[in-house]
């Protein structure tokens, strides 16, 4: 599966990011806490070069807390500061500014030694569409400055936003890679709503989600379906879900399409509980 992703505004966004890099001190890379690997941008390393970077795991309220802690440890093992936040409810937002001050401490100490007063930290926020950049900016700025929307590609322009006296943010349109060839990455993006539903078949998305949950969160699936055991075959499981929810076609056969839509919607709304779909220990497999 190869999905081409490079509309004109994304190519323009990459050029703008490259041009504005010299204006900022630190990069805030925003990822979805449910899929920290799949929602990161593979081109980011080559774009930002040696700029300091902080990983912000947003939507942490929807992710598996244990896995979020593992991801923070993983990023720190790579020399990257990482924080988990819930921008929608404004939880742990102070950790972002604190992390920025920590990564800039050495540079600001040198400025003070030279008798210069450090200015506000300038940060650029980068992330793929629909990871919650606009909501994060509005929460940090305590006002509705950035446009928000629960769909990819709402932010279209670039603007500076003041956050108190210590931080200035440069908002930029989300950049998604030109293509992704890893099938599981595509399905994870689709499962969490990061890409448009019409790019992949809903039954394929639901089947991927069911397979993953059956392997990693089986008890949550049993509780959701109110059963003691699960069918091992995914097609049988999807038919079982259709029957449990009385989703039948005109021939009174299980309606796989509606069952798939229900499954994906319930996963996105955390009806099965908080889940993470990327695990640090699976990175070798994703890249292999």
Domain identity same for 44 and 158? yes
pLDDT at 150 over 60: no
pLDDT at 171: 72
Q: Which residue has the higher pLDDT, 157 or 61?
A: 61
Domain identity same for 54 and 146? yes
Domain identity same for 136 and 206? no
Domain identity same for 228 and 141? no
pLDDT at 252: 95
Could you tell me if residue 195 is inside a domain? no
Domain identity same for 25 and 137? yes
| Residue 244 structural domain | 201-278
Instruction: Return phi, psi of residue 18, to 5°.
Output: -60, -40
Token pair listed for 241: 């879900």
Domain identity same for 242 and 131? no
**79-132 pLDDT, tens per residue?**
999 999 999 999 999 999 999 999 999 999 999 999 998 889 999 988 888 888
CATH number of 163's domain: 3.40.50.300
Could you tell me if residue 227 is inside a domain? yes
pLDDT at 264: 97
Predicted confidence band at 73 (pLDDT cuts at 50, 70, 90)? very high
Tally the domains of the chain.
2
Domain identity same for 81 and 125? yes
Closest by CA to 62, choosing from 276, 280, 206, 265, is 276
pLDDT at 47: 84
Predicted confidence band at 288 (pLDDT cuts at 50, 70, 90)? very low
Alpha helix ranges (H) inside the chain = 8-20, 44-48, 65-77, 94-113, 133-141, 183-191, 202-216, 218-225, 234-244, 256-268, 283-287
Could you tell me if residue 158 is inside a domain? yes
Task: Please say which residue of 120, 148, 179 terminates a domain.
Answer: 179
Could you tell me if residue 188 is inside a domain? no
**How would you class 7 by CB atoms within 10 Å of its CB: exposed for 0-12, middle for 13-18, buried for 19 or more?**
exposed
Domain identity same for 34 and 114? yes
For the chain, the average pLDDT equals 87
pLDDT at 152 over 80: no
For residues 188-202, average pLDDT: 90
CATH number of 266's domain: 1.10.1580.10
Predicted TM-score (pTM) above 0.85: yes
Could you tell me if residue 248 is inside a domain? yes
Could you tell me if residue 284 is inside a domain? no
pLDDT at 154: 46
Predicted confidence band at 153 (pLDDT cuts at 50, 70, 90)? very low
């Amino acid at each position: 599966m190869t999905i081409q992703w490079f509309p004109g505004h994304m190519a323009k966004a990459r050029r703008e990011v490259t041009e504005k890099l010299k204006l900022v001190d630190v990069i805030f890379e925003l990822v979805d806490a449910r899929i920290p690997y799949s929602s990161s941008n593979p081109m980011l390393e080559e774009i930002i070069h040696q700029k300091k970077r902080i990983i912000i795991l947003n939507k942490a309220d929807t992710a598996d807390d244990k896995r979020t802690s593992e991801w923070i440890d993983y990023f720190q093992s790579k020399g990257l500061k990482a924080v988990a936040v819930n921008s929608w409810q404004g939880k742990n937002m102070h950790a972002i500014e604190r992390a920025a001050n920590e990564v800039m401490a050495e540079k600001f100490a040198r400025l003070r030694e030279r008798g210069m007063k450090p200015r506000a930290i300038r940060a650029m926020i980068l992330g793929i569409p629909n990871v919650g950049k606009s909501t994060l900016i509005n929460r940090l700025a305590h006002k509705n400055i950035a446009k928000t929307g629960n769909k990819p590609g709402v932010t279209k322009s670039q603007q500076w936003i003041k956050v108190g006296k210590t931080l200035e943010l440069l908002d930029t349109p989300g950049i998604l890679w030109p293509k992704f060839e890893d099938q599981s990455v595509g399905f994870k993006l689709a499962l969490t709503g990061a890409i448009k539903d019409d790019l992949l078949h809903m039954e394929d998305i639901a089947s991927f989600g069911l397979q993953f949950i059956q392997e990693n969160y089986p008890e949550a699936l049993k509780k959701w379906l109110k059963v003691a055991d699960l069918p091992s075959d995914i097609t049988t499981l999807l038919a079982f879900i259709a029957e449990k929810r009385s989703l039948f076609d005109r021939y009174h056969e299980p309606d796989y399409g509606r069952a798939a839509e229900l499954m994906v919607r319930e996963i996105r709304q955390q009806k099965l509980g908080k889940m993470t779909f990327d695990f640090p220990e699976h990175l070798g497999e994703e890249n292999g």
